Amino acid sequence: MQFYLDGYRPGDPEYRPAAPGRDESSKGAAALPDEVDVLIVGTGPAGVVLAAQLAEFPGITTRVVERRGGPLEIGQADGVACRTVEMFNAFGLAEKLVREGYWVNEATFWGPDGTRNGSTAGITRTGRVQDVADGLSEYPHVIVNQARMQEYLLEKMRTSPSRLVPEYGVEATGVEVLDDGGDYPVKVTLQREGGDTAVVRAKYVVGCDGARSAVRKSLGIELRGDARNHAWGVMDVLAVTDFPDIRLKSVVQSPAGGNLLIIPREGGYLVRFYVDLGDLDPADRDARKRFTFDSIVAAAQKALHPYTLEVKSTAWWSVYEVGQRIADRFDDVLDAERGTRTPRVFIAGDACHTHSAKAGQGMNVSMQDGFNLGWKLAAVLEGRSPESLLDTYAEERRVIAQELIDFDLRFSTMMAAHPTDPAHPELGGVDPAEKQRMFTEAGRYTAGFATEYTPGLLTRSAEHQAVATGFPVGQRFYSAPVIRLADAKPLGLGHVAQADGRWRIYAFAGAGDPTSPDSGIAQLAAFLGESEDSPVRRFTPDGADLDAVFDVRAVLQQDHRELEVEALPAFLRPVKGPFGLKDYEKVFTPDLKGGRDIFDERGIDRERGAIVVVRPDQYVAAVLPLDAHAELADFFAAFMQPAAALV
Ligand code: FAD
């Protein structure tokens, strides 16, 4: 984190100065403006990530409306995949999250106790595995209440230069795209608690309003799929038990009473139980509502037999049906119209995909939807990209949602399956060992690392993958340890990338002396700093800092003590801000003292070097040889345009 570029200020540097017109007096402003650039409907995980991202751009007028009277306080999702922790790091929130959360390091599996002579005699531990395989991420899989996750991001919004806070008690009841709507073509009808209605006009609207999305319905978009009619109870409780794995994630397949998933919660005492309540009669629409809290506890007690469970206090409980459904479209543009008009209304999160909670993906994938869309809206609204960039949201995220639906169907079916009974093979079921194997195999997916964007406008082909094999094109940029040259600080290379909408260009040096003007690094720096074709020169607005749009970082092969900062190209020490200060944080070397050489760990071609281009949402967009200047320029020219000068 860098600060004081504009001058020293006492106090918490994370509480950044408000942009002009966005100071404390605008905080919590009750009146919504008549016209906004972006209106976000809903403050669930999708809405708050999107809002936190847009709050970084105070020149963009963003507003958030939420039907509830205030922030969520309890319940709903709690599983935070490693990938989400990585994203939180970009928002400067990972340390907090990791400190507060329960770490899911191992999982145990329980099945029928065959030694007890009889299929109803109880359960025994059948296996124990590491939850997240080594080498997937530097962050753990954690459990933190969805309400807390949202609160972190709401705080980020509140302390951002935009000082953005949601308008609570305001429900969006209708959204319409007007043909003759001018610059603000989307008309949103809002209803305040108490009955007043209001109309706001927006350039773009994003429906982050959950599974029953009013925005989706206004667009006539259907959620298609299967309700499956299988009920699960969920309860967050403080309980006394003699079940030995109560502080480990445990998958219990009981012969006596269905399936249980036990998720220990943050704080050391709280535990979540997902309890299989069985199939529901599709004709009986009220079946789910008849389950009581006591019936969920009784089902959990039965499944845990012979272990005991005594619930002492209940934080939250709910019953829901498992189903996998996906929206036909993720924006207001029909397939036949694609390319002929700009998408104006988007849906994200549960509004466009719903699935079971067992794989812990609801909150995580919804947040990634918001992260994917946020920087694109900012780029278009700031004039750095044409509106066609916005088509890539639906194009990219619908594929990811379909993969999630397919995965979840397999995963939740496996989790709900009863154990096999050797005496009755005709009854089917899943053997506990098989369940454990499938769970382990799914680990990469559940940790959030299965997303791989395919070649397209924002993702180049993998033709040059060989120069950086450890940064697969289309996948998230996997950080590795480095030493910052100027101050010898060890850190993760990926951790310097903040959620600020900037593109990252990581230049990995090839063989030779990087201080020589003939070196690949110096040649690239000269191209980026001086050539008319340079994307940095073409697409950084006049008057903005040199790294305002592209954050170029160099990683050299030498030990950090062998190099002098001032001997490197000046482009790697950009002069910034009102005082013309040099930014010394652009150059890194391997962490040789720590024994981890990023060139080895990420398969960088030591002879040729490599360029790794990373999107603002942390996905690898391109891998190129260090001298592929023209290809680098062409990549950005396809979706960027010169923005207006800053005044
Ligand atoms: P939501 O989190 O649903 O947020 C939508 C927000 O929009 C809400 O704050 C809502 O009040 C607001 N809103 C809705 N309509 C309007 C409107 N018209 N105008 C203004 N605001 C509106 N996942 C798990 O992994 N484990 C669980 O145990 C689990 N339990 C759940 C229990 C419940 C009762 C629910 C609803 C969901 C549960 N989920 C669970 C799913 C998980 O919470 C979601 O996948 C995730 O929250 C989706 O995020 P989202 O931002 O898309 O939508």
Residue 276 to residue 357: CA distance in whole angstroms = 12
Provide the CATH number for the domain around residue 592. Answer: 3.40.30.20
Distance (Å, whole) CA 303 – CA 88: 36
For ligand 1, the distance from its centroid to the CA atom of residue 313, given in whole angstroms, is 24
Residue 30 falls within a domain, yes or no?
no
93 in a structural domain: no
**Between the CA of residue 257 and those of 387, 414, 417, 508, what are the distances in Å?**
55, 16, 12, 57
For residue 305, report the distance from its CA to the centre of ligand 1, in Å: 33
In the prediction, which pLDDT does 90 show? 98
Nearest atom in ligand 1 to 351's CA: 52
Residue 544: name the closest of 585, 574, 566 by CA.
574
Asked, for residue 23, whether it belongs to a domain, the answer is: no
CB atoms within 10 A of CB 282: 10
Judge whether 612 and 471 are in contact, CB under 8 Å. yes
* 108 and 257 within one domain: yes
Phi and psi angles of residue 427, each rounded to the nearest 5 degrees, phi first: -85, -5
DSSP notation for 213-250: -HHHHHTTPPEEEEEEEEEEEEEEEEEEE--TTTTSEE
DSSP 339: T
Rounded CA separation 376/394 (Å): 12
Number of other residues whose CB lies within 10 A of the CB of residue 461:
13
Q: Tell how far the Cα of 350 is from the centroid of ligand 1, in angstroms.
A: 7
- Specify whether 185 is located in the same domain as 217: yes
Same domain, 478 and 625: yes
The two three-digit tokens of residue 9, written as one number: 């200020």
Closest alpha carbon to 261 in 411, 415, 124: 415
What spacing in Å lies between the alpha carbon of 367 and ligand 1's midpoint? Answer: 12
Residues with Cβ within 8 Å of residue 63, at least 6 apart in sequence: 32, 33, 36, 38, 39, 40, 167, 200
Structure tokens of 577?
A: 């801000």
Question: What range defines the domain where residue 161 resides?
Answer: 35-74+145-223+326-397
* Residue 164 belongs to some domain of the structure: yes
Euclidean distance between CA atoms 256 and 627, whole angstroms: 65
Sign of CA dihedral 450, 456, 460, 462: positive
Instruction: Tell me the CATH number at 166.
Output: 3.50.50.60
- The pLDDT assigned to 285 comes to 73
**How far lies 7's CA from each of 184, 359, 578, 581, in Å?**
37, 47, 9, 11
Q: Into how many domains does the chain fold?
A: 3
Query: Hey, which residues does 506 pair with through a beta bridge?
Result: 553, 612
Of all protein residues, the one whose alpha carbon is nearest to atom 27 of ligand 1 is: 77
Nearest CA to ligand 1 atom 23: 77
What pLDDT does 32 receive? 86
Last-in-domain residue among 385, 417, 446: 446
Predicted local distance difference test score (pLDDT) of residue 647: 54
The answer to pTM > 0.85 is: yes
pLDDT at 369: 98
Single-letter amino acid, residue 338: R
Q: 625 lies in a domain?
A: yes
- The response to whether residue 172 sits with its C-beta less than 6 Å from ligand 1 reads yes
- Please work out whether the CB of residue 145 comes within 6 Å of at least one atom of ligand 1: no
Cβ 18 vs Cβ 184: under 8 Å:
no
Query: Dihedral (C-alpha) 406, 408, 411, 416: value to the nearest 10 degrees?
Result: -120
**Spans in the chain with pLDDT lower than 70:** 24-31, 115-121, 227-229, 257, 322, 416, 645-647
Atom of ligand 1 nearest to the CA of 234: 28
Is the distance from CB of 639 to CB of 457 less than 8 angstroms?
yes
Contact 359, 446 (CB under 8 A): yes
Dist. CA 79–CA 121, nearest whole Å? 32
Residue nearest to atom 32 of ligand 1 (CA): 76
Calculate ∠ Cα 220-225-214, nearest 5°: 30
Q: At which residue do the structure tokens 């482009």 appear?
A: 571
Same-domain status, 555 and 578: yes
* CA 55 – ligand 1 centroid, Å: 22
Residue 86 lies in a domain: no
> Do 484 and 579 share a domain, yes or no?
yes
Nearest ligand 1 atom to the CA of 190 is 19
What one-character-per-residue DSSP string does 513-554 give? -TTSTTSHHHHHHHHHHH-TT-HHHHHSPTTS-TTSSEEEEE
Buried b (16+ CB within 10 A) or exposed e, 187-221: bbbbbbeeeeeeebbbbbbbbbbbbebbbbbbbeb
Q: Residue 166: CB within 6 Å of ligand 1?
A: no
Tokens at 339, concatenated:
């390319």
Does ligand 1 lie within 6 Å of residue 84's CB atom?
Answer: no
Q: Which helix (H) or strand (E) holds 318?
A: strand 309-327
Does residue 154 sit within a domain?
yes
Ligand 1 centre to CA of 40 (Å) is 14
- Distance between CA atoms of residues 104 and 263, nearest Å: 9
Select from 80, 209, 216 the residue to mutate for testing ligand 1; criterion: most ligand atoms less than 8 Å from CB: 209
- Ramachandran bin of 184, using left for φ above 0, alpha for ψ from -120 to 50, beta for the remaining angles: beta
CA of 349 to the centre of ligand 1 (A): 8
Instruction: Based on the fold, state whether residues 364 and 332 are members of the same structural domain.
Output: yes
Same domain, 525 and 470: yes
Is 7 a domain residue? Answer: no
> Is there a single domain that holds both residue 255 and residue 358?
no
Same domain, 204 and 110: no
Name the residue with the closest Cα to ligand 1, atom 12: 42
55 with 151, same domain: the answer is yes
pLDDT at 119: 47
- Asked if residue 160 and residue 115 are part of one domain, the reply reads no
Q: List the structure tokens of 15.
A: 């509480």
> What pLDDT does 24 receive?
60
> Measuring CA to CA, which residue among 527, 522, 520, 514 is closest to residue 608?
520
Q: Which residue, judged by its Cα, is nearest atom 15 of ligand 1?
A: 209
CA of 82 to the centre of ligand 1 (A): 21
Same domain, 495 and 346: no
